[in-house]
């Protein structure tokens, strides 16, 4: 590895640490979120976790930029750790190319890197904010992703063509469902009411494809661990909100195991 590749995460963290004192509002949001989620009752510890998670975000982004130069189709297994995931879920993601699947995660761990590496294994469809800058979008498509990744604008929804692509390519549809949803269902997340997007639950109910829920967390330089339980499967008679709540509960379990890697600075909770 080059010097930059080797130290990308620490450089990103260091840069974020220098900026941290200038973001007082974000500090207060993060600390309040951590305390109210009962990650800890100690304000000092909440402050430490808040700063650590802030630095992790920058470190994650910096390392993600370097991942294409380090992880490839010949060595990718060396960079993934499945010690905290069920065997069925690992096989679903890595060894089931004949069926479409859903991967439901949150702004926890290394969500950007996970999509990059998993695209080596199977086609990916990521529901995300599309890059407005065409130069950045072109660079990401050409240099960043290791395999076939289709970015679908989250504001356009699940169109017929997206569903057809998902089914025909047997893709992994990846959804981050911890963003505030003004018109979504009011469910519980981290013990607090939060308007929640139910699109992942609705897709699972309508199509019945298996769902892997959890996170990939960073455990070392270019080493990532999946944290997830058994895969889920919904049926057409299941209740949408109950299914979405189950997804929230699974995401919460992963976050509580690695709270320093969650994006506490965002305003997820606006309903209590």
User: In the prediction, which pLDDT does 136 show?
Assistant: 44
**Number of structural domains in the chain:** 1
Q: Which residues contact 96 (CB under 8 A, 6 or more apart)?
A: 210
User: In the prediction, which pLDDT does 204 show?
Assistant: 97
User: In the prediction, which pLDDT does 267 show?
Assistant: 86
For the cut 50, the answer to whether the pLDDT of residue 143 exceeds it is no
* Structural domain contains residue 247: yes
Under 8 Å between Cβ of 30 and 264? yes
CA neighbor of 203 nearest in space, from 107, 102, 127: 102
User: In the prediction, which pLDDT does 130 show?
Assistant: 54
User: In the prediction, which pLDDT does 147 show?
Assistant: 56
Q: Which residues contact 27 (CB under 8 A, 6 or more apart)?
A: 20, 47, 50, 51, 265
* Structural domain contains residue 136: yes
* Pairing between β-strand 172-176 and β-strand 124-128 as defined by DSSP bridges: parallel
Average pLDDT over residues 26-30: 97
pLDDT band at 135 (very low <50, low <70, confident <90, very high): very low
* Structural domain contains residue 128: yes
C-alpha–C-alpha distance, residues 111 and 180, integer Å: 18
Q: What is the pTM of this model?
A: 0.91
* Structural domain contains residue 168: yes
C-alpha–C-alpha distance, residues 184 and 198, integer Å: 7
* Structural domain contains residue 58: no
Average pLDDT over residues 159-173: 93
CA neighbor of 46 nearest in space, from 261, 255, 252, 260: 260
Q: Which residues contact 226 (CB under 8 A, 6 or more apart)?
A: 80, 81, 82, 84, 85, 89, 90, 93, 214, 215, 216
Average pLDDT over residues 77-99: 93
* Structural domain contains residue 10: no
Q: Which residues contact 210 (CB under 8 A, 6 or more apart)?
A: 92, 96, 99, 101, 102, 231, 232, 233
User: In the prediction, which pLDDT does 115 show?
Assistant: 87
Structure confidence by residue, pLDDT tens digits, 111-132: 989 988 999 989 999 877 555 5
* Structural domain contains residue 113: yes
* Structural domain contains residue 155: yes
User: By residue range, what is the domain housing residue 132?
Assistant: 75-258
For the cut 60, the answer to whether the pLDDT of residue 138 exceeds it is no
Report the percentage of the chain scoring pLDDT > 70.
Answer: 92
């Amino acid at each position: 590895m080059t010097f930059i590749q080797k130290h990308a995460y620490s450089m990103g963290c260091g840069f974020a640490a220098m900026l941290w004192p200038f973001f007082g509002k974000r500090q207060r949001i993060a600390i309040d979120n951590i305390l109210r989620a009962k990650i800890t009752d100690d304000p000092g510890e909440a402050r430490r976790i808040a700063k650590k998670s802030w630095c992790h975000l920058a470190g994650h982004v910096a390392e993600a930029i370097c991942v294409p130069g380090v992880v490839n189709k010949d060595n990718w297994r060396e960079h993934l750790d499945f010690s905290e995931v069920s065997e069925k879920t690992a096989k679903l993601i890595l060894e089931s190319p004949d069926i479409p699947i859903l991967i439901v995660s949150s702004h926890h761990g290394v969500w950007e890197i996970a999509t990059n590496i998993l695209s080596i294994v199977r086609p990916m469809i990521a529901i995300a904010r599309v890059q407005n800058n065409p130069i950045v979008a072109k660079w990401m498509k050409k240099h960043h992703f290791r395999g076939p990744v289709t970015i679908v604008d989250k504001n356009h929804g699940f169109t017929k063509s997206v569903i057809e692509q998902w089914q025909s390519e047997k893709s992994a549809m990846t959804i981050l469902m911890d963003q505030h949803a003004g018109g979504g269902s009011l469910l519980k997340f981290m013990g607090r009411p939060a308007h929640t997007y139910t699109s992942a639950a609705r897709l699972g109910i309508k199509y019945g494809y298996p769902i892997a829920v959890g996170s990939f967390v960073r455990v070392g330089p270019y080493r990532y661990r999946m944290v997830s339980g058994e895969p889920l499967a919904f049926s057409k008679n299941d209740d949408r909100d109950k299914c979405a709540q189950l997804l929230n509960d699974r995401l919460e379990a992963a976050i509580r195991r690695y709270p320093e890697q969650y994006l506490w600075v965002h305003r997820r909770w606006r309903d209590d």
